[in-house]
Amino acid sequence: MKDSSEIRTEILISEILRWGVRASLALILVGSVLFFVQSGDWAGADAKAKLAPLISGGGSFPLSLGWLASGVLSLDGMAVTVLGLALLIATPVLRVAAAVVSFALARDLAFTLISAAVLVFVVASFFLGAVG
């Protein structure tokens, strides 16, 4: 049986998900539109040559936080898109963090520990990816 605190948890988690998805969706959409506006010629013959580097990358995709921050501030389409994607990836992490807090508030020790361990694994994977 579910008690009221558990139902409150579910509603809180649901709200985090909804707003996380909405905000990241908006950023990705705006970023994509800005990208096409800023890249100028996107329907002519030259445009065809531009596609290959965009979909093959080859380690050229800038990863630094500095690039992201300055790009977003100058409304660079690609940077805004990357911010949206990062927020999208972070949304489930916020969901787990919210679960840790609400299990702790409900004094459910086992599930506070379980969800805290899951949170550690998710955050650790970001740092391991940057190294590996």
Partner 1 sequence: MTPLLFTLCAALASVFAGFVGSLVGIGGGVIVVPVLTLALGVDIRHAIAASIVAVVATSSAAASTYVRERMANLRLGMFLELSTTLGAMTGALVAGYLSPKFLYILFGCLASWTAWHMAKKAKDVAEALPPDALADKLLLHSSFFDKAQNREVAYRVTRSKLGLGVGAIAGVLSGLLGIGGGAVKVPVMHLAMGVPIKAATATSNFMIGITAATGAAVYFARGDLLPFVAAPVAVGIIAGSKLGSKLLGRTESRLIRGLFVAVLGVMALQLLYKGVTL
Q: Which of 23, 34, 72, 93 binds partner 1 (CB under 8 A)?
A: 93
Is residue 25 at the binding interface for partner 1, with CB under 8 A as the rule? Answer: yes
Rounded to whole angstroms, the Cα distance separating 24 from 83 reads 8
Instruction: Please choose, from the candidates 95, 99, 96, the residue with its C-alpha nearest in 3D space to the C-alpha of residue 108.
Output: 99
In the complex with partner 1, which residue's Cβ is closer, 93 or 104? Answer: 93
Q: How far apart are CA 88 and CA 17, in angstroms?
A: 9
Please classify residue 81 by burial: count the beta carbons closer than 10 Å to its beta carbon, then call 0-12 exposed, 13-18 middle and 19+ buried: buried
Say how far apart CA 98 and CA 111 lie, in whole Å: 12
**Is position 67 an interface residue for partner 1 (rule: CB under 8 A)?**
no
Among 54, 69, 101, 109, binds partner 1 (CB under 8 A): 54
Rg, C-alpha atoms of the chain: 20
Contact residues for partner 1, defined by CB under 8 A: 1-2, 6-7, 9-11, 13-14, 17-18, 20-21, 24-25, 28-29, 31-32, 35-36, 39, 42-43, 47-48, 50-51, 54-57, 59, 61, 63, 78, 81-82, 84-86, 88-93, 95-96, 99, 110-111, 114-115, 117-118, 121-130, 132
